[in-house]
Amino acid sequence: MSASAPFADIKRMLDNCAPGHSIRLATHSRVVTYSNKVYRTLPKFDKIELGHIRKMVRYLGISVQCADSYGVI
């Protein structure tokens, strides 16, 4: 089983580390918008593998230190 985090923890991280972000549900993925960038491939599962979160953090320019403090990367 790969390391993963509950979506609720990811949402808490985004609320604090990516203020002003938005999340909408597309047919296949969650679409996260922050700072004029659109991350289209966050899985819709309740638990999400950390690799997806690490990629989203890098892509959207979220502080790694901030995200790490929530234990989701």
Partner 1 sequence: MLTAELAIDLKEHPIMITLQDTISGSGFLARITLSGRALMRQEDDGKWWMYGVRPAGIAASGSNIDEAFLRFRARYKETLFDIAQEGQTFEDYANEVERFFNEGDSDNEDERLWEAALTAIRSGSCQPPTPFANLPRRSPESYPSFIKIERVDAEAKDKRLMPSENVADTYAYSVPKAA
Residues in contact with partner 1 by the rule CB under 8 A: 2-3, 26-29, 31, 35, 37-41, 49-52, 54-55, 58-61
Query: Would you call 72 exposed, middle or buried from its count of C-beta atoms within 10 A (0-12, 13-18, 19+)?
Result: buried
**How far out from the chain centre does Cα 65 lie?**
14
Task: Provide the Cα torsion 47, 51, 57, 60; round to 10°.
Answer: -100
Nearer to partner 1, 49 or 68 (CB): 49
Minimum Å gap between C-beta 70 and partner 1 is 18
CB of 31 to partner 1, least distance (A): 7
Minimum gap (Å) between residue 15 Cβ and partner 1: 19
